[in-house]
Amino acid sequence: MILKIVAAITLFSALLSVPAAEILARTSFHGGFHLWFILFFMLFEVLLVLAVFERRAPIFGQIFWKGAPGKNLVALTFDDGPNEPFTSQIADILKEKKIGATFFIVGQNAVRSSGSIRRLFDEGHELGNHTWTHEVLPLKTPARIGDELTRTSDLIEKTTGRRPALFRAPHGWRNPWVNMVARKCGMAPVAWTLGVWDTDRPGEEEILRRTLAGARDGCILLLHDGRGLEEGADSSQLVRALPKIIDELKRRGFEFVTLSEMMGNSG
């Protein structure tokens, strides 16, 4: 899929470069069409790759990815669930520690476990939209993106009585329509500050080390209670690391908030 996306970016960059190079070749005393084409092609290629794959890039529109400094806030976020028994195990830890978090829900996973998201909602956690299929979005049309988001929001609303206010794209990859469609569906597009690659299952202690090494004031921490559409995906390493993460960050003076609360404190 990455190769398909890069190929599409390359083709689009070449098409954009042609008219720009022709105009400058006619008006410039230095260099002909081929030189300007190469320069513009390289420029467009770099910008488009950044726009698609860099979750924080504002090229396709602003996106919230970190909180304001000076408030000692950290937001725990969990992607790709619900995925049992791990979503419930994470909920048990959060209940014991008396903190709220934000869970980005994959619609197809929620079909298998709607009771899980009802529990998360009832216990005060925030539910965000993470598409219906967890397929990457850069090659999808606005209509297809809208379907992915609407189906998931509809299911969350049917289960909890409230539509999600936040949307996170799978892997953070976007195209020019993703932010626009998300906002049209009533959601703010968001990303994250720190990801620790817990889905690679590097071990409990490595997840803990990566988190504590990277956590900063205003950090939005990306963790996973699932792994795409993989049923029963093993998130046990994260479950074992999570209490230690929470206890150490509390010891360092951080307060845990939901992502919407962090956004409200960053205005």
Give residues with Cβ within 8 angstroms of 26, minimum separation 6: none
Please state, in angstroms and rounded to a whole number, the distance separating the CA atoms of residues 152 and 148: 7
Residue 71 gets which letter from DSSP?
Answer: S
Query: What is the structure's pLDDT at 265?
Result: 87
Nearest-CA neighbor of 229 among 89, 143, 111?
Answer: 111
pTM metric for this prediction? 0.92
- Per the domain annotation, does 65 fall within a domain? no
User: Looking at the structure, do residues 127 and 241 belong to the same domain, yes or no?
Assistant: yes
Query: Six-digit token pair at 4?
Result: 């398909």
User: Looking at the structure, do residues 23 and 125 belong to the same domain, yes or no?
Assistant: no
- Per the domain annotation, does 130 fall within a domain? yes
Q: Distance of alpha carbon 204 from its chain centroid, rounded?
A: 23
Q: Residue 252: how many CB atoms within 10 A of its CB? A: 12
User: Looking at the structure, do residues 129 and 210 belong to the same domain, yes or no?
Assistant: yes
Number of structural domains, the chain?
Answer: 2
Query: What is the structure's pLDDT at 101?
Result: 98
**Which structural domain, as residue segments, surrounds residue 117?**
73-264
- Residues in a beta bridge with 74: 219, 256
Query: What is the structure's pLDDT at 31?
Result: 57
- Per the domain annotation, does 63 fall within a domain? no
Tell me the three state secondary structure of residue 110: helix
User: Looking at the structure, do residues 160 and 84 belong to the same domain, yes or no?
Assistant: yes
Tell me the three state secondary structure of residue 56: coil
| Confidence band, pLDDT 50/70/90 cuts, at residue 38 | confident
Nearest-CA neighbor of 264 among 108, 127, 67?
Answer: 67
Give percent above pLDDT 70 in the chain: 90
User: Looking at the structure, do residues 216 and 87 belong to the same domain, yes or no?
Assistant: yes
Q: What is the pLDDT of residues 159-186, one digit of tens each?
A: 999 999 999 999 999 999 999 999 999 9
- Per the domain annotation, does 145 fall within a domain? yes
**The pLDDT of residue 9 is above 90:** no
Q: What is the pLDDT of residues 41-76, one digit of tens each?
A: 788 788 999 999 999 999 999 999 999 999 999 999
DSSP string, 155-196: HHHHHHS---SEE--GGG---TTHHHHHHHTT-EEB--SEE-
Angle between helices 236-251 and 204-214 (to 10 degrees): 40
Query: What is the structure's pLDDT at 34?
Result: 65
**The pLDDT of residue 226 is above 80:** yes
Q: DSSP alpha helices (H): ranges in the chain? A: 2-27, 33-53, 86-97, 107-112, 114-122, 142-160, 178-184, 204-214, 236-251, 259-264
**Ramachandran assignment for 218, one of left (phi > 0), alpha (psi -120 to 50 degrees), beta (any other):** left
**The pLDDT of residue 116 is above 90:** yes
Tell me the three state secondary structure of residue 100: coil
CA atoms within a 13 Å half-sphere pointing along the CA-CB vector of 44:
21
User: Looking at the structure, do residues 198 and 138 belong to the same domain, yes or no?
Assistant: yes
State the average pLDDT over residues 143-147.
Answer: 98
**The pLDDT of residue 32 is above 70:** no
Q: Which amino acid is at 69?
A: P
User: Looking at the structure, do residues 18 and 105 belong to the same domain, yes or no?
Assistant: no
Please state, in angstroms and rounded to a whole number, the distance separating the CA atoms of residues 142 and 63: 18
Rounded to the nearest integer, the mean pLDDT of the chain is 92
Worst-scoring range by mean pLDDT, 31-35, 36-40, 75-79?
A: 31-35
C-beta of residue 189 within 8 angstroms of C-beta of residue 259: no
- Residues in a beta bridge with 220: 75
Active centre residues (catalytic): 79, 224
**The pLDDT of residue 6 is above 80:** no
Please state, in angstroms and rounded to a whole number, the distance separating the CA atoms of residues 135 and 6: 16
